[in-house]
Amino acid sequence: MLSGQMPIFVLKEGTQREQGKNAQKNNIEAAKTIADAIRTTLGPKGMDKMLVDSIGDIIVSNDGATILKEMDVDHPTAKMIVEVAKSQDSAVGDGTTSAVILAGELLKQAETLLDQGVHSTVITNGFRMAVNEAKKHLDQIALEAKDDKTLKRISMTALSGKNTSLSSDFLSDLVVKAVNAVADERNGKVVVDTANIKVDKKNGGSVTDTQFINGLVIDKEKVHPKMPSPVKDAKIALIDSALEIKKTEIEAKVQITDPSKIQDFLAQESDTFKNMVEKIKKSGANVVLCQKGIDDIAQHYLAKEGIYAVRRVKKSDMEKLAKATGAKIVTNLDDLTSAALGKAEKVEEKKISDDRMTFITGCANPKAVSILIRGGTDHVVSEIERSLNDAIRVVALTKEDGKYLPGGGAIEAELAMKVRNFANSVGGREQLAIEAFAKALEIIPRTLAENAGMDPINTLIQLKADHEKGKVTYGIDFTENKVGDMAKAGVFDPLRVKKHALESAAEVSTMILRIDDVIASKKSGPSPGEGGGMGGGMPGGMPQY
């Protein structure tokens, strides 16, 4: 610096900043902490976590995505790891715990290489090469899912370890039925839209009271006690306009000077509703499901005509009802014809727990169906709902792709061996990173063994020996707590879940490794005109490491 020249301050005094190796170490530590927090939940013998919020509400779950979503995470890098779980859950519905544990282990292995002087760019290049090699082998190892028996085993694998494991056989049958019902073939490809499977829950009863409905359940009761229930051979009208007299948009006042005219006014109002019901009756409908309100007078006339009616049905349910019954949603009653009606064998009101619900069953070829979950308490039914949603997603993926892999850590053990062999052919410093990737893959079978109370070192040695002999499907058999054939045990995972978990873990770990500077950014506060501005706002605080 020239004499007399003033120093230049780029960052505000007191701005929090972590640089170089210190930043990398803190980031890796944060990621490892998140991974360690959910490690014990992996596998059929994994433990549950109880999450308690500030007002004392609790969630008991061992679903990785749920735990991470509910955890109060402050560290920026830890938030990146939580995003991996969210991405995995939204994309494929399962494998969240595996993806996070693998990401944590990749960073742990990378930390060892960084301490040995290997540059983070070399490590990230090695990881990318390793994940591409692993994906190639995944496609080669994948088996074809040809029948419902395989789909059921995949569902049971997804449900194992959850609170539903005792009823997994029963629940898996329902899941496969539901997925098969909504599966559609488009341009020679099977497509399963899981949004068409409506999962409802009501506490009371036992898990085995959970039922599959070949149609839909609506959490609404009939609007008038004198309406018939059940209605057999139902002709269903779906109306998305109100069966009420609309209020005027501008303020209006009706002034009646002659008392005899009051009756005329009321009669005219009554005739309006009578005409509405006449139009519904003329179409041949004996069930009306309305998205908006139904006036009391209209309810009376509908009941008089023996028409079953439900009001304020959710828009999403209306769309599902159209797919389930084949009805068209009409806005104007003049458009309601017999061609616009849907069909079902039976529509009835049933009392479930303390609530009354409408069951629309026996639809001929429904493209939307329901599963009604039952269980002893709210916590039980909520956990079953989370588990069933996972199972539905994995069965749907397998139905679409027609490919699955052996589970129980078998695939990770096989990939670790293949990637290690690939590392020997690469050479250079990248070889060290590829070997580290292979070692990180072994965290999945190792954790599964630990959570089952097995000796992790002996189990890994046995697993490696079996895979060296070409036993690709050998993993950890939890029924006998030993290494066994996953194909015989029927422990399967969808190909897409494993592929996405590998990609997500590799992507987030390489992103974290490339960060060498963590700087507090400006707070997003009020606009300059509101007293904030560039000069007035304090720099945003970063969490203490």
Nearest to 468 by CA among 514, 536, 545, 413: 413
Given the residues 41, 63, 447, 493, select the one marked as catalytic. Answer: 63
Beta strand spans in 305-438 (E)? 308-310, 329-330, 342-352, 355-361, 369-375, 403-406
Rounded CA gap, 303 and 243, in Å?
14
Residue 200 · residue 371 · CB < 8 Å: yes
Is the domain of 238 the same as that of 328? yes
In the three-class reduction of DSSP (H, G, I as helix; E, B as strand; rest coil), residue 427 is classed as coil
Rounded CA gap, 405 and 498, in Å?
8
Is the domain of 346 the same as that of 310? yes
Amino acid 257: pLDDT: 67
Cα–Cα separations (whole angstroms), residue 421 to 135, 438, 439, 467, 471? 15, 9, 12, 13, 16
Given the residues 41, 66, 77, 96, select the one marked as catalytic. Answer: 96
Q: CATH number of the domain that 33 lies in?
A: 1.10.560.10
Quote the number of domains for the chain.
3
Rounded CA gap, 530 and 318, in Å?
45
Is the domain of 88 the same as that of 77? yes
Rounded CA gap, 80 and 103, in Å?
11
Is the domain of 151 the same as that of 111? no
Is the domain of 258 the same as that of 345? yes
How many other β-carbons are positioned within 10 Å of the β-carbon of residue 48?
Answer: 17
Look at residue 465 and tell me if it is in a domain.
yes
Amino acid 538: pLDDT: 38
Given the residues 41, 66, 77, 97, select the one marked as catalytic. Answer: 97
Q: Let me know if 390 is a catalytic residue.
A: yes
Amino acid 531: pLDDT: 44
Is the domain of 52 the same as that of 94? yes
Look at residue 9 and tell me if it is in a domain.
no
Amino acid 529: pLDDT: 45
Is the domain of 93 the same as that of 115? yes
Look at residue 259 and tell me if it is in a domain.
yes
For 331-336, the CB contacts below 8 A with 24+ separation are 331/239, 331/240, 331/241, 332/241, 333/239, 333/241, 333/276, 333/279, 333/280, 334/279, 336/237, 336/239, 336/279, 336/280, 336/283, 336/285
Residue 124 · residue 514 · CB < 8 Å: yes
First to last CA, the chain: 34
Question: Hey, what are 333's tokens?
Answer: 């009653």
Q: Let me know if 63 is a catalytic residue.
A: yes
Tens-binned pLDDT, residue by residue, of the chain (545 aa): 455 566 655 555 555 556 667 888 888 999 999 999 999 999 888 898 998 988 888 988 888 888 988 888 888 888 888 988 888 888 888 888 999 999 999 999 999 999 999 999 999 999 999 999 999 999 999 999 989 999 999 999 998 877 666 788 999 999 999 999 999 988 888 999 999 999 999 988 888 899 999 999 999 999 999 999 899 999 999 999 998 876 545 565 656 666 765 655 556 678 888 999 999 999 999 999 999 999 999 999 999 999 999 999 999 999 999 999 999 999 999 999 999 999 999 999 999 988 899 999 999 888 999 999 998 888 889 889 988 999 999 999 999 999 999 999 999 999 999 999 999 898 888 999 999 999 999 999 999 999 999 999 999 999 999 999 999 999 999 888 899 999 999 999 999 999 999 999 999 999 999 888 777 777 654 444 444 443 343 334 444 44
Residue 145 · residue 151 · CB < 8 Å: yes
Look at residue 485 and tell me if it is in a domain.
yes
In single-letter form, the type of residue at position 280 comes to: I
Cα–Cα separations (whole angstroms), residue 350 to 140, 343, 360, 378? 51, 19, 11, 20
Quickly tell me which residue has 């409802």 as its tokens. Answer: 200
Is the domain of 99 the same as that of 238? no
Amino acid 50: pLDDT: 92
Residue 357 · residue 349 · CB < 8 Å: yes
- Structural domain harbouring 114: 20-144+406-519
| Torsional class of 442: left (φ above 0), alpha (ψ -120 to 50), beta (otherwise) | alpha
Look at residue 10 and tell me if it is in a domain.
no
Q: What number of helices (H) and strands (E) belong to the chain?
A: 18, 21
Given the residues 200, 390, 466, 493, select the one marked as catalytic. Answer: 390
